[in-house]
Each structure stands twice: as C-alpha cells, then as structure tokens.
Amino acid sequence: MYGTSILHLTTLKDWSEADVLRTVERSIDIKRNPRHYSAALSGKTLALLFQKTSTRTRCAGEIGMTQLGGHALYLDWRNTNFGLADLGDEVRVLSSYADFIVARLMQHDDVLRAAEASTAPIMNGCCNRYHPLQGLTDLMTVHEALGRLEGVRLTYVGVLNNVANSLIAAGLKTGMHVTCICPEVNPAARDEALYSEASAAGLYEYGEEAEQLQDVLAQSDVVYTDTWIDMEFFTDPAFAEEKERRIALFQPFQINADLVQNLDLKILHCLPAHHGYEITGDMLHDPRSLIFTQAENRLHSQKAVLLQLANAPE
C-alpha cells in the first residue's frame, strides 16, 4: 500500500487537535504577514483535480500556491484520462509529479481511494460527505472575529450536509459548540458516528423545527447556512422535482432580516449563495455578515493547510 504514513486531509476527523489549531493560528499569521511565507513552498507543485465546479477552492489553491512561491496545475476531470482508468492508477501517477493534490470528487469513497494510492498529501476539496478545507476556514473566521473557539456557539441552519459535517468535526477538535437546526440530513452525508461522538462530548445538538430557531439563535454567537441542494444537483433535470420539494420544505429555515432581527450574532455562508433560497441577498451585506471575509479567508487558510501537510518549519 502506498502513502500510508502521509498526512492527508480527507476529513477533519483524522486530524489531531494540534494540527487543527496550528493551521488556524498559521492561517491568521499568513493573512497578517503574507510576505514572510512568499518562498515557503518554492519549487513545489499543487495539482487540483475537479469533478465538480468551483470558484473559491480552485482559486485559493492556485493563487495561494503562487503566493507561497510554488506552482499550481488545474485538472478538469473530463479533460484527463481519470474517467477512463482506475482512479488509484491515475492518482499514483499524478502524485509522482505533484507534491500536493486537491481533489474535489463526487464520492467520499473515491477521496479515500485517492489517498490510499497517493504518494503525496491529498486534500478533499469537497465531496458528498465533507468539506474540510471549508471547515478550517470557518474556524479561522470565527477565531479572527471572536478571539476564541472554545465555548463559541454556532448554529447551522438548513440541510445537514458536507459543510455541516465539517463544522461539527471542526467544533469537536476545538471546543466550539455546533447546533444544527435542519429538517433533513442529506442522505449521502449522514455520519451518525460523528454526531454521536460530538454529542457525547457536549459539542453538538440537533433540532428539526423552524419554531426552535428564535430561541436557539438568541443563544448563538454565529449563524451559518449553506445551499439546500449540492452543486452537482442544482441544475440536474433528474433532481428538478426534489429541488422543488426542498425549496418548499426549507423556506421557513431561510436566513433573512426577520429571522435575525435584533440578534447580536455573526452571519456565515460558505458560498456560493443562492439569493432568495437559503439566504436573502441583503444578509450578505448586513453589518453582522462575515461572509466575504470568510471567502477571502479561504486563501489564507488553504495556504496554512499546505504548510501543515508539508510539515513546513515555523
């Protein structure tokens, strides 16, 4: 078996608390002192392999690598021979050229297969179950805004999905409490072992009713939402009926001015946002919104992840 001793980032669950906290601290330092890191990955290459679309994950990876003195290479799955061949074979070859790989694959099992075959660290760029690069950015953004993670109360509203799972895992590593008010769990994302572990640690609660929102949000430091429909299904005609069902079901869970009226909390969204669905457009520009800072932080955080995986010196 190849690469078994390599630190990958397939899910935050596999990272130690120290890895998570060091990455958050370093991401904040990178934002403050970018020039200090301008040659940190000189001569190294990051390959970015995408089965799905992306703005932030791709651009933060490519631009971040340039800013660290390295080089990045974007691979659209459809223009490679990944679709024709064994995933393990192709990843093994790619990892013999590249020093790091970001893989945005549909299925988490494929992310695991890629990590098993790779001789270079694999970062999960958002699969059906987890989005760890987003979770680390979210920790950075909360820490930057509130000065702490332990004891912070974050409420995630909408569908319990890949992003919510990574927030729960991020909370478990740092002492941040996550409440999910979600009428449904995305079937492919359900991770009962994670929910049980976080719940046993006193860091996770779950509710399904929109009527709970006011009370829960009154106790929250942060409210977070994400799309009701993952990107690969959003324009899929086969998903059209399910999309309409979800829009009707989730409407009472929309983040809007009425919901957060008079509440002293920060508003987060991983983006892309679907205005008028999970969030109204005005909320992105609300004084309490950190959404565009959070998006910018993808760049700083993704650079910190690369340095953590490279075991780069301080």
- Determine if 161 is a binding residue for ligand NVA (CB under 6 A): yes
- Determine if 134 is a binding residue for ligand CP (CB under 6 A): yes
**Ordered strands of the 177-185 beta sheet:** 204-207, 177-185, 153-160, 222-225, 266-269
- Determine if 235 is a binding residue for ligand CP (CB under 6 A): no
Only segment of 80-88, 167-175, 227-235, 295-303 that touches ligand NVA (CB under 6 A): 227-235
**In this structure, what is the dihedral angle of CA atoms 162, 164, 168, 170, given to the nearest 10 degrees?**
70
Which structure tokens are listed for 234?
């959003």
Q: Please, what sign has the CA dihedral across residues 297, 140, 123, 43?
A: positive
Q: Least distance in Å: CB of 313 to ligand CP? A: 29
- Determine if 126 is a binding residue for ligand CP (CB under 6 A): yes
As a whole number of angstroms, the distance between CA 212 and CA 195 comes to: 19
Which structure tokens are listed for 261?
């009226």
Q: Least distance in Å: CB of 169 to ligand CP? A: 16
Residue placing its CB nearer to ligand NVA in the complex, 126 or 194: 126
As a whole number of angstroms, the distance between CA 116 and CA 2 comes to: 6
Which residues are paired to 187 by β-bridges? none
As a whole number of angstroms, the distance between CA 264 and CA 219 comes to: 9
- Determine if 188 is a binding residue for ligand NVA (CB under 6 A): no
* Closest CA relative to residue 40, chosen from 304, 286, 234: 304
- Determine if 297 is a binding residue for ligand CP (CB under 6 A): no
Q: Least distance in Å: CB of 138 to ligand NVA? A: 11
Site string for ligand NVA, 51-90 (x = CB under 6 A): ----------------------------------------
Question: What is the bridge-based pairing of β-strands 45-50 and 100-104?
Answer: parallel
- Determine if 270 is a binding residue for ligand NVA (CB under 6 A): yes
> Quick one: which of 54, 254, 297, 301 contacts ligand CP (CB under 6 A)?
54
Site string for ligand CP, 263-282 (x = CB under 6 A): -------xxx----------
Note the residues at the interface with ligand CP (CB under 6 A).
Answer: 54-57, 126, 134, 270-272
Give contact residues for ligand NVA (rule: CB under 6 A). 126, 131, 161-163, 226-227, 230-231, 270
